[in-house]
Amino acid sequence: MTDALTQADIDREIAAAHAAYGKRVADGAPVEHHPRRDYRPYRSSVLRHPRQPLVAIDVSQDPELVELSSPAFGERDVTGTDNDLTRQHAGEPVGERVTVSGRLLDRDGRPVRGQLVEIWQANSAGRYAHRREQHDAPLDPHFTGVGRTLTDADGHYRFTTIRPGPYPWRNHVNAWRPAHIHFSVFGSAFTQRLVTQMYFPNDPLFAYDPILQSVTDDAARQRLVATYDHDLSVPEFSLGYHWDIVLDGPRATWTEEGR
Amino acid sequence: MTRIDTGAPESVLPTPSHTVGPFYGYALPFPGGEDIAPLGHPDTVTVHGYVYDGAGRPVPDALLEVWGADPEGRVPTADGSMRRDPASGGFLGRNGVEFTGFGRIRTDADGHWYVRTLRPGARGRGAPYLSLCVFARGLLTHLFTRVHFPDDASLLASDPLLSRLDADRRDTLVAGDEGAGTYRFDIRLQGEGETVFLEFP
């Protein structure tokens, strides 16, 4: 099925989904901050999205729900080198060093403290250190591409890493993913759990990528793109990128400090 | 745009979700992620099953997270689900004694998964359950569901969520008893027997 599928086919589907969203909002529907699970231009989603509507849980009816608390993480879950992906091997990885930093916040703008932030990414040639990865680009013996850290008292996180390369994938003919870093974060409630991807500014591949375009709201999609921050650049060492992350979640959890 | 101004409430909008993709396997899972129960604890239960897609095929690249209360219904507050070794920088593993309540499991090549944890106690108004979060390649936003245990029919009958579902849909949230503390819980992402997935607006 995917053999004959061209970028032009995907472009048409992306444009149609975008237009349909624009019409929904113009007709009074709410802004959609997250992608729909049934986003056909991303072909892997076709058989993996529920067709039944999700069942809503009114959290205000039961503040004891286990989903309104979150797993605990602490210093035992990280080590000193976990947030510097350039120092996890004996030698220096190849590529452009970058510093990525920002804050983890809830929908009220409050910092989410002491929670785990995990990242993973391809190396500078666009290849993952994953055995089933088939992209014919060099592996870097000095780069695995895995990091984790805890947010501090102000919700800040910080990583030193290598800017990942773009890479091809098999969604359609000539499909290329823009450079991105995968993020996995927890909030103060399990319902705030978020797995997402951070992109680098001004990437020419943005318009062609059905995964990024699955976020059909323009402003929401922009929130996935980091900003270059000269103050975060480290002299003689790395370029800095700033990326804040805001966790979604039921309104009822936001008023419960310390859950 | 990506620097959030916390002084302007309208700017505090959520970061969109994105798929976990296919290549998290060397990053997110950790050794022993499926063994949450302290060693030898008498309240240990094993829950296992398969994840299926809309064509009924097993999903070999799903990632599940489990979060649950302890047998007294208390939410765990211990950290150390994925302890690290400060000396080597490597993975150290759980300490075998503390119950952290959190597990992370990837499906195997057959789409099969299992978790060994403590049987959760009831909290609030509902029947006890494990909260389950499902990630997969192709799934743009993760899905939440719950694993209920079949042992106490009266608790299940009065559960606020289960009691408002049709019988066939309700049954997707109740594990099957296989004896010896082992329960079967399959997850169907789409189609016939589709699992009930939850949202928390």
Residue A15 covered by a domain = yes
- Considering only CB atoms, B131 lies closest to which of A35, A129, A190, namely A190
- Residue whose structure tokens are 């375009």: A213
β-strands A146-150, A116-120 pairing: antiparallel
- Residue in A closest to B90 by C-alpha: A79
- Residue in B closest to A55 by C-alpha: B198
pTM of the model: 0.96
SS3 state at A219:
helix
pLDDT at B47: 98
- Residue in A closest to B83 by C-alpha: A77
| pLDDT band with cut points at 50, 70 and 90 for residue B7 | confident
pLDDT at A255: 45
User: What is the domain range of residue A71?
Assistant: 7-246
Contact B144 A67 (CB under 8 A): yes
- Residue in A closest to B131 by C-alpha: A67
pLDDT at A256: 43
What is the pLDDT averaged over residues A70-77? 96
Residue A256 covered by a domain = no
**Set A43, A97, A103, A180: catalytic member:** A180
Question: Among this protein's residues, is A180 annotated catalytic?
Answer: yes
pLDDT at A258: 39
**A80: CB partners within 8 A, 6+ apart:** B86, B89
**Residues of A whose CB is below 8 A from B123:** 64-66
SS3 state at B166:
coil
Question: Among this protein's residues, is A241 annotated catalytic?
Answer: no
Please tell me the distance from the alpha carbon of residue A235 to that of residue A233, in angstroms, as a whole number. 6
- Residue in B closest to A194 by C-alpha: B17
Residue A254 covered by a domain = no
Residue A258 covered by a domain = no
**Residues of B whose CB is below 8 A from A73:** 79, 81
Domain containing A84 — which CATH number?
2.60.130.10
What is the pLDDT averaged over residues A145-171? 97
Which DSSP symbol is given to A173? T
- B160-182 pLDDT per residue, tens: 999 999 999 999 999 999 999 99
pLDDT of A214 > 70? The answer is yes
Sheet order of strands, A55-56 included: A55-56, B198-199, B143-148, B129-136, B62-68, B102-106
**A107: CB partners within 8 A, 6+ apart:** A246, A247, A248, A249, A251, A254, B12, B13, B14
Question: Among this protein's residues, is A167 annotated catalytic?
Answer: yes
What is the pLDDT averaged over residues A73-98? 96
**B82: CB partners within 8 A, 6+ apart:** A77, B30, B33, B91, B104
**Set A163, A177, A199, A241: catalytic member:** A177
Contact assessment for residue A50 and residue B113, using Cβ atoms and an 8 Å cutoff: no
Nearest to B81 by CA among B121, B44, B115: B115
State both tokens at A41.
Answer: 């231009």
Whether chain A has a CB inside 8 Å of the CB on B133: the answer is yes
Residue A84 covered by a domain = yes
Which DSSP symbol is given to A30? P
Where do the domains of chain B lie, and which CATH numbers do they carry?
Answer: 19-188 (2.60.130.10)
- Residue whose structure tokens are 């990437």: A203
**Residues of A whose CB is below 8 A from B26:** 120, 128-130, 144-146
β-strands B182-184, B176-177 pairing: antiparallel
Please tell me the distance from the alpha carbon of residue B188 to that of residue A49, in angstroms, as a whole number. 10
**A-contacting residues of B 96-115, CB under 8 Å?**
100-102
- Considering only CB atoms, B86 lies closest to which of A37, A42, A79, namely A79
CA distance A237 to chain B (A): 23
Please tell me the distance from the alpha carbon of residue A25 to that of residue A100, in angstroms, as a whole number. 34
How far are the Cα atoms of B39, B106, B123, B149, B179 from residue B45, in angstroms, in the given order?
Answer: 12, 19, 18, 10, 10
Contact A246 B14 (CB under 8 A): yes
Alpha helices, DSSP H, located in B66-162: 153-158
Task: Look at chain A and report how many structural domains it folds into.
Answer: 1
- B77-119 pLDDT per residue, tens: 999 999 999 888 899 999 999 999 999 999 999 999 999 999 9
SS3 state at A148:
strand
CA distance A13 to chain B (A): 17
**A-contacting residues of B 138-177, CB under 8 Å?**
138-144, 160-161, 165, 169
Contact B12 A76 (CB under 8 A): no
β-strands B44-52, B187-188 pairing: parallel
Side chain identity at A212, as an amino acid letter?
L
**Residues of B whose CB is below 8 A from A196:** 15-18
pLDDT at A259: 35
Contact B28 A46 (CB under 8 A): no
The larger pLDDT score, comparing residue A169 to residue A4, is at A169
| pLDDT band with cut points at 50, 70 and 90 for residue B1 | low
Name the least confident of A30-34, A62-66, A251-255, B195-199. Answer: A251-255
Contact A56 B129 (CB under 8 A): no
What is the pLDDT averaged over residues A101-126? 96
Contact assessment for residue A195 and residue A120, using Cβ atoms and an 8 Å cutoff: no
Beta bridge pairs of residue A234: A238
- A184-195 pLDDT per residue, tens: 999 999 999 999
- Residue in B closest to A83 by C-alpha: B89
CA distance B185 to chain A (A): 17
Residue among A66, A119, A256 with most chain B CBs within 10 A, to mutate = A66
